A and B are shown apart, each in its own frame.
Chain A
Amino acid sequence: MYIDNENRPPITPQLALRVAIIGGVALALFAIVFFRLWYLQVLSGDKYLAQANANQIREIKIAAPRGEIVDRNGDPMVENRVSMAVKIAPNELPPKGSADRKQLFSNLSKVLDLDPGKMSHDVNQQFKLLPFSAATVKQDVDLNVVQYVLEHQDSLPGITIERVFLRSYPEGTTGAHLFGTVGEVNQEELDSKDYQDVTAGDRVGKSGVEQEYDKYLRGVNGASRVQVDAAGHYISTGAPKEPVQGKTLKLAIDLNTQRVGQRALSEFAPTGKGAFVVMDIRNGEILAMGSAPSFDPNQFSRVVTPKQYEALTSDENGAPLLNRATLGTYPTGSTFKLITATAALESGAITADATINDPGEITIGDQKFTNAGGEPNGTVNMVTALQVSSDVYFYALGARMNEAKVDGPLQQWAERYGIGRDTGIDLPPESPGLLPTPEWRNQLFKDGQTDRPWSIGDNVQLAVGQGDLQANPLQMAVAYAALANGGTVVTPHLAEQVEGADGRVLQEIEFPAQRQIPIAPATQATILDGLRKAATQPGGTSYDVFKDFPVPICGKTGTAERPPHGDQSWYIALAPCPGPQYVVAVTIEDGGFGAEAAAPAARQILAAIPTLGVGKKEQSKVVVGNNRTR
């Protein structure tokens, strides 16, 4: 029953105004709220939805196994082994500070034989870094510990056994220097853009090939997805993302050649120290490269104690970790004569046919230089000087090519061949060694670090690979390859291609040559002729060793004085010769004359190069020469 409005007491105009104001304010406030809601829910809804979803999902990493490293035939050199690690899952662990947690840690420390205080500290550190991931208590535990933990889950709540992948090296010491090491990623690496998809706790390559090709070898981690509430409590597990193993890296290495090479080193090295390189001269592929003494890389997939590390690096043990093939710094002895010969022929210091009389000694300036043992070689030209390794002939060339202040032809050619500089191999680090130059010595003298400036004697010494010269076998192999292939300084490399898990080639790894050097064909022919005769003609320095070798080769011995050590024995071979395809460089510390240690070792190694087809018997044949030249 409604009544006409006129019958109600009329409100005053003042009240009407004020009610209107209140209504207006209400309208304005509602408008603000509506617009704000429109902005949040309709215009920015997607952003907030993503935020809400990210809020509740935590991903727990499942580590991916690294890719395998195989030799040129696909035989495994580096694999993964599954190791059992004891882990603590944070969501099942009794709360921090509770008596249950203390009891658990005390029980666990007894089972694992760890110090409870240190263990608790380590675990808490890990939880701080990765709050929802299980923390590792102990790596690589024995099977009986695994069984104990699994059988006593009631008294060990939250303790789990997890599979982790560690590197394993089925060949043991063979190729140990080639792979490098793997370890937990550090902060510096995490900050760099090469490691963008790597997260804390991942294992990455730390040195060598493992580091160089880490982006291929590294797998893609999987994750189990866990939904959590605001307090971080576990709610449910979602579908896991499976980890993907890293790609397979195929090396140019031939496992058998590698094995034979390392065996030969230990057989012929009196003090167990030396190195060798086998390289394809056409493209720089390294078929084998070794250093003695070697070590078992499997010990690096466990925790290495400071004592063990000391044993691997100390000089008394021959510093097994040192790769002498790339980091050795040795005088090269007569193997350097290839460079001296090139420089002399190309600079016109001598012609191929010009002869020099070698009476066994020569006086240059006020210094007398002699052949080894003072043996005279009579009249020699370039070919015969190389064949018999006449020091007097090359002393004379050294003297002719000397410059007092600037680099003479000898330094220029040595530098072109790669002496004193990095080879660019995909196995860092490497040592550039030292190429003595007038500028270098004069600067040292000016700085007061040596007692005399550059003299002609320095160049005479350099001409036969003595004096201040320091080089490694890889540099010498690259230099010999450059001569043999007509002037291409190749980039030596281990890696050949990247393969998928199914063996399909995903990527060929290309290594463009470092540079071209202008060696005249006549120069090349003359020098190769000398090196061929040295290995295959009576009177040649390594004729004793190679006279009945099934494949003709070119080869140069070297015997470098290296006080206070014994003589450094060198041999560098090009095979087959003529038409060389491979270079083998061997150096043996304290090995005596080149023909005594390095050449016999090189002979076994050459026999192992598969495409030369020498035959298995020769791979272990011991043929020691008695040529006593430098």
Chain B
Amino acid sequence: MHASRFGASIRDFSEDRPARTGVLTQMDPLLLAASLGLVLCSLYTITGATADDVAGNPLYYVTRQAIYAGVGVVLMFLIARFDYSRLRELKLGIYAGMLSLILLVLVVGGATRGSRRWIELPFFTFQPSEFGKVLLIIALAAFIVDRSRKLSARETTSRIMLLALIPAAMVIVQPDLGTGMVYIAIVMALLFVAGTSWKHLAALVGIGATAIVLTLVALPAIGVNVLKPYQVDRLTSFLHPTDNPQEQGYQVNQSLTAIGAGQKTGRGAEDATQTKLDFLPEHHTDFVFSVVGEEFGFMGAAIVLSLYSLLIWRSLRILTMAKNLYGALIAGGVVAMLMFQVFVNVGMTIGIMPVTGVTLPLMSYGGASVITTFLALGLLQSIHVQSRVLAAAKGREVLA
């Protein structure tokens, strides 16, 4: 056996024949089932919602989404096979790579509706800020593990925060406020899981609240606009959707109408006029949950939400099973990312959260979002597999 970068871990596995023969059997079956179930829901919903969107090609979006999901699943299995712990050594490279990708998009990225978020590639558009979420989790978790003995130091907390705020700020100026908020949710979760003192956490929350008040209220009052006006409108319009039905409130009103009209069992893909006649904007991307609500009603929405709760429950369980702190932190970051995105996106469609352009993991159409989510799920599965392998090894030691 030749030495390689992962030689050590492969050698570890070689002593563990039964586990190695089937990574599949070592993966969390419920987590896998929930993620594949969501992919199926996504494909089914997008088929109905986009049938009329591309003339002459009713399957345009669903074909692409299936390919993205396929790529994502393959990547998930590959990652699940490797020991995530090796990634710790690469933290500097990963962090630097993430920053340069986000910078790159600011320089060469394509613009849509005034924002630069993605890079045009032959097959699909590459959106660094989406992949950045996973890279940030891997890198930050590693930094935290390095300083795990000095967690109570104020310096640790501020350094970690700084490491997260740099990419977050860069994403926000793209501008992609929603993804930037995900970055902040991730770092908060990492600190929380790592065991940062309550005092520090409270201080961070306080600073965050002050920052929000400053950007939305105080600074505009003295003439300094941190956010673009449309961002402020989008953030605040959900508080009064009927004020301005043709503008910012329009999307939310149409979404509420779509979801409400679905009633208990939905209107079916053919009669879902809100979706079919384009009253519902972004019906295959950001507002895909509204389509679920309109076409399949409360029942359909409940099924999708149940799959998400299953996903989050299994992720939390994996967090507790992790063989080391690094695994627990990664799992914590992924849980935070999933929870934040699900709640902010669904909350937006039902009018209790602002419109921020956060995608619904696995459901929203889009390669970057789907593949990123599968990368994160691959990490979770890897953590699960590693804890199983370790447990099995220990079991044998005990038996021996």
Contacts and interface: CB of A to CB of B under 8 A. Distances in A.
Interface of A: 1, 3-4, 7-9, 11-12, 14-16, 18-19, 21-23, 25-26, 29-30, 32-34, 36-38, 40-42, 44-49, 51-53, 55-56, 227-231, 235
Interface of B: 18, 189, 192-193, 195, 254, 256-264, 273-274, 277-279, 293-294, 297-298, 301-302, 305, 308-309, 312-313, 316, 319-321, 323, 328, 332, 335-336, 339, 343, 346-347, 350-352, 387-388, 390-392, 394-395, 398
Contacts of A41: 259-260, 262-264, 293, 297-298, 301
A46 to B, nearest CB: 8
A51 B319 CA distance: 45
A55 B273 contact: yes
B279 A40 contact: no
A41 to B, nearest CB: 4
Chain B CB within 10 Å, residue with most, of A1, A7, A40, A46 = A40
Contact of B335 (A22, A33, A228, A229): A22
B316 A23 contact: yes
Contact of B195 (A18, A29, A52, A55): A18
B146 to A, nearest CB: 18
B350 to A, nearest CB: 5
A42 B195 contact: no
A26 B258 CA distance: 26
A79 to B, nearest CB: 43
A212 to B, nearest CB: 42
Nearest to A27: B309
Chain A at the B interface: SS class: helix
A14 B279 CA distance: 49
B273 A37 contact: no
Contacts of B254: 230
A11 B346 CA distance: 33
A42 B264 contact: yes
Contacts of B195: 12, 14-15, 18
B260 A30 contact: no
A15 B328 contact: yes
A33 B289 CA distance: 12
22 contacts: A1-B18, A3-B394, A7-B398, A9-B323, A16-B320, A19-B193, A22-B335, A23-B313, A23-B316, A30-B308, A36-B350, A37-B302, A40-B256, A40-B350, A41-B301, A48-B257, A48-B258, A51-B257, A52-B260, A52-B279, A56-B277, A231-B278
B260 A40 contact: yes
B305 A47 contact: no
B98 to A, nearest CB: 25
A337 to B, nearest CB: 73
Contacts of B347: 33
A457 to B, nearest CB: 75
Given A18-B193, A33-B343, A45 B277 contact: no
Contact of A1 (B257, B259, B279, B392): B392
Given A18-B192, A37-B293, A32 B263 contact: no
Contacts of A46: 263
- Lowest 4 CB-CB distances: which A-B pairs, in order? A48-B260, A45-B263, A52-B261, A229-B277
Nearest to B273: A56
Nearest to A16: B320
Nearest to A14: B195
B298 A42 contact: yes
Contacts of A33: 305, 343, 346-347, 350
Contacts of A3: 388, 391-392, 394-395
B336 to A, nearest CB: 8
Given A18-B192, A21-B192, A41-B298, 9 more contacts: A22-B335, A25-B339, A26-B309, A26-B312, A40-B256, A48-B256, A48-B260, A52-B257, A235-B277
A14 B201 CA distance: 15
A49 B260 contact: yes
A569 B381 CA distance: 113
Given A45-B260, A52-B261, A55-B279, A26 B274 contact: no
Contacts of B301: 37, 41
Contacts of A48: 256-261
A53 B192 contact: no
A21 B336 CA distance: 12
A313 to B, nearest CB: 47
Nearest to B395: A3
A331 to B, nearest CB: 66
Chain B CB within 10 Å, residue with most, of A19, A30, A41, A46 = A41
A29 B259 contact: no
A33 B261 CA distance: 17
A37 B259 contact: yes
Contacts of B339: 22, 25-26, 29
A84 B107 CA distance: 62
Contact of A19 (B309, B320, B350, B392): B320
B316 A30 contact: no
Nearest to B189: A22
A79 B331 CA distance: 83
A7 to B, nearest CB: 5
Contact of A49 (B18, B261, B308, B321): B261
Nearest to B350: A36
A55 B257 contact: yes
B350 A37 contact: yes
A7 B394 contact: yes
Contacts of A16: 320
A167 B165 CA distance: 76
B292 to A, nearest CB: 10
Contacts of A7: 391, 394-395, 398
Chain A CB within 10 Å, residue with most, of B189, B195, B391 = B391
